[in-house]
Amino acid sequence: MRKEYQQRLAKEYRYAVTKMQEAKDPTKKLFYFSVLFGEAQRVLNWEWNTDLALIHMVTQHVHTQFMTQASLFGQLPIDIAIVYDKLTQVASELAVYFEKTENKDSREELYQILGRFAEIGYIVTGNGSYLYEKGLIEL
């Protein structure tokens, strides 16, 4: 990926994470989280990159899971504040990934971050919260 795009992602992701950290309302946190897949899509329009396509797909799916399951949050046996804190933490890890130019080609690190996003997105489903309650998924 061209350096200018990497820097753009780093800057936009850092801004989104800062706003997620400041937001008290879960809806606002999700709004700023949407920057992750939105910005990935913008950069994909200029330069195709399979890792960036994966970032787009994973973060968009996580966002959809949160939006879909929002009505169940009161029914799920999880502390949703902890889940949003973890979502913000992993979003910050993605920002750091792009801020560190020497790691821009480190797929292992990227895939670990995306795996954490997948776990967080899964926890807000019925089965995911059940597995979390049983201790099979940890935040």
pLDDT, tens digit, 9 for 90 and up, residues 14-31: 999 999 999 998 889 999
User: How many residues does the structure list for the chain?
Assistant: 139
Q: Which two tokens stand for residue 132?
A: 């979390």
What are the DSSP calls for 63-125, one per residue?
Answer: HHHHHHHGGGTTTSSS-HHHHHHHHHHHHHHHHHHHH-GGGTT-HHHHHHHHHHHHHHHHHTS
Predicted pLDDT of residue 8: 96
Confidence at 100, pLDDT banded by 50, 70, 90: confident
Q: Provide φ and ψ at 42, rounded to 5°.
A: -60, -45
Q: What is the pLDDT of residue 74?
A: 67
Of 22-26, 51-55, 71-75, 109-113, the least confident: 71-75
